[in-house]
């Protein structure tokens, strides 16, 4: 993977083969994005009246139950009669403050069939919706789809693209700052690249656009979206990223502002995910934040070594990268164990199959990287074709990762 050669001053100089560096970068991106994009969402567990139930007395309330916290500021709960008229009274609410449940009052309903149409937003921003039927004194109608229904493919694609862009830009922006701080001999001499500056601008733009897209998908207003936890944290992420961009503008880093802004951005991302809404929110956020930090560190030191090899402390690079990889693996294993109930679930669920596809693609990328390494001595032209193929497969790997954002892990 690497060699140490003596330079003119007698100091060891790290020579990292280009294909190997690229393979490490691919592996870092993959490990960074899998657990983050695979965070679980609030799932519909049941209702009162139950889906398909025939009840003899008109219910005064319709209650939905979920396995995690849900927001209702962008949600809705309608009880439609046979003519499509909404019979719900007032806005939906959390009964008794229980944020796992959503309830709405109903008047004295006449005998007949009714359809419940609902929409909620999980604390991690995932939008869920569905419909079911029940009957009062008559059999419930048979609907084409009951329970929770998936978003349309176009909507899912937009969410996946935004998620990918946000995570990739955040890891690169924070990573380059960490790389300059940790492995450059004199951090003040590390130049600021357009990649670092542009990454923070992308984070700020995408984080705000994500809030607006959520309001459009749910049919709510931007103000309503900003009133959710997800909206507040994404707005905080937007401001943090803008401050980071200011901190690296003008070709130099303003370290105090940059460190503060990067911490705000990384914490906002961790707090805005599912980790903060689980059974152990403090532990979940800590693991998620450590995972983000380790991913950014590994990617950052690799990119810094690629971009400014002459001013990098090679021994420190090796040590920092090792610690980052260990932290990545440990936090990744923890999150995968939390999201997958058994080994068999990896090939019996959509989520598991997507993870398996990513593993296969990654294995192919690494194999091509080692093949390229064998031909490095032949020159850049000889390996150009395989490097392009690596880039293509990397794009596919990251695309599959982005799709995982809308998959339910098989708990």
- Residue ranges and CATH numbers for the domains of the chain are 2-37+153-406 (no CATH), 49-149 (2.60.40.1220)
* Intra-chain end-to-end CA distance of the chain, in Å: 37
The contacts of residue 199 (CB under 8 Å, 6+ apart) are: 169, 170, 172, 173, 176
Hey, CA dihedral for 101, 216, 200, 193, is it positive or negative? Answer: positive
Residues pairing with 113 in the sheet: 135
Alpha carbon 122 to chain centroid distance?
Answer: 14
Banded model confidence at residue 234, pLDDT cuts 50, 70, 90: very high
pLDDT digits (tens, 9 = 90+) for 89-140: 988 999 998 988 999 999 889 999 999 999 888 877 778 888 899 999 998 8
H or E element that contains 353: helix 350-374
For residues 368 and 382, give the distance between their C-alpha atoms in angstroms, rounded to a whole number.
13
Q: Is the pLDDT confidence value at 60 over 90?
A: yes
Backbone φ and ψ for 9, nearest 5 degrees, come out as -85, 0
Residues pairing with 14 in the sheet: 4
Tokens of 108: 């004295």
- Quick one: what percent of the chain has pLDDT higher than 90? 24
Q: Is 99 helix (H, G, I), strand (E, B) or coil?
A: coil
What letter does residue 117 receive in the DSSP assignment? Answer: E
Q: Is the pLDDT confidence value at 29 over 80?
A: no
Considering only CA atoms, which of 251, 245, 256 is closest in space to residue 206?
245
Q: What pLDDT sits at residue 281?
A: 64
Q: Is 348 helix (H, G, I), strand (E, B) or coil?
A: coil
Given a contact cutoff of 8 angstroms between Cβ atoms, the answer to whether 151 and 127 are in contact is: yes
- In the numeric block, the tokens 């260990």 are attached to 326
Given a contact cutoff of 8 angstroms between Cβ atoms, the answer to whether 297 and 175 are in contact is: yes
Q: What does pTM read for this prediction?
A: 0.70
Banded model confidence at residue 206, pLDDT cuts 50, 70, 90: very high
Tokens of 167: 């995570």
Buried b (16+ CB within 10 A) or exposed e, 297-324: bbbbbbbbbebbeebbbbeebbebbeeb
- Quick one: what percent of the chain has pLDDT higher than 70? 62
Q: Is the pLDDT confidence value at 169 over 60?
A: yes
Tokens of 254: 């303003």
């Amino acid at each position: 993977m690497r060699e140490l050669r003596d330079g003119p001053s007698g100091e060891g100089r790290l020579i990292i083969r280009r294909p190997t560096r690229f393979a490490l970068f691919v592996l870092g991106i993959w490990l960074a994005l899998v657990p983050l994009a695979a965070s679980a969402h609030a799932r519909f567990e049941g209702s009162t009246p139950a889906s398909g139930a025939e009840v003899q007395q008109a219910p005064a309330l319709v209650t939905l139950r979920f396995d995690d916290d849900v927001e209702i500021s962008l949600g809705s709960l309608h009880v439609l009669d046979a003519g499509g008229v909404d019979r719900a009274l007032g806005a939906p609410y959390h009964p008794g403050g229980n944020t796992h449940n959503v309830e709405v009052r109903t008047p004295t309903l006449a005998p007949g069939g009714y359809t419940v149409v609902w929409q909620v937003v999980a604390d991690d921003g995932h939008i869920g919706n569905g419909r079911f039927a029940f009957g009062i004194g008559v059999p419930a109608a048979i609907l084409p789809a009951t329970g929770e229904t998936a978003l349309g493919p176009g909507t899912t694609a937009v969410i996946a693209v935004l998620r990918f862009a946000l995570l990739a830009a955040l890891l690169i922006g924070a990573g380059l700052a960490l790389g300059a701080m940790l492995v450059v001999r004199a951090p003040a001499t590390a130049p600021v690249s357009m990649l670092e500056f542009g990454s923070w601008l992308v984070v700020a733009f995408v984080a705000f656009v994500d809030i607006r897209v959520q309001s459009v998908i749910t049919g709510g207003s931007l103000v309503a979206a900003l009133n959710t936890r997800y909206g507040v944290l994404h707005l905080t992420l937007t401001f943090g990223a803008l401050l980071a961009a200011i901190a690296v503008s003008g070709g130099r880093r303003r370290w105090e502002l940059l460190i503060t802004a990067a911490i705000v951005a990384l914490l906002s991302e961790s707090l805005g995910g599912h980790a903060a809404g689980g059974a152990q929110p403090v532990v979940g956020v800590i693991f998620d934040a450590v995972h983000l930090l380790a991913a950014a560190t590994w990617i950052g030191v690799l990119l810094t070594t690629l971009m400014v090899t002459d001013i990098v402390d090679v021994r420190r690079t090796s040590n920092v990268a090792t610690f980052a990889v260990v932290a990545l693996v440990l936090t990744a294993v923890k999150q995968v164990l939390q999201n997958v109930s058994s080994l068999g679930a990896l090939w019996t669920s959509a989520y598991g199959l997507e993870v398996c596809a990513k593993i296969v693609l990654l294995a192919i990328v690494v194999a091509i990287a080692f093949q390229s390494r064998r031909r490095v001595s032949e020159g850049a032209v000889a390996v150009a074709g395989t490097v392009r193929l690596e880039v293509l497969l990397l794009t596919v790997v990251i695309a599959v990762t982005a799709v995982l954002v809308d998959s339910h892990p098989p708990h």
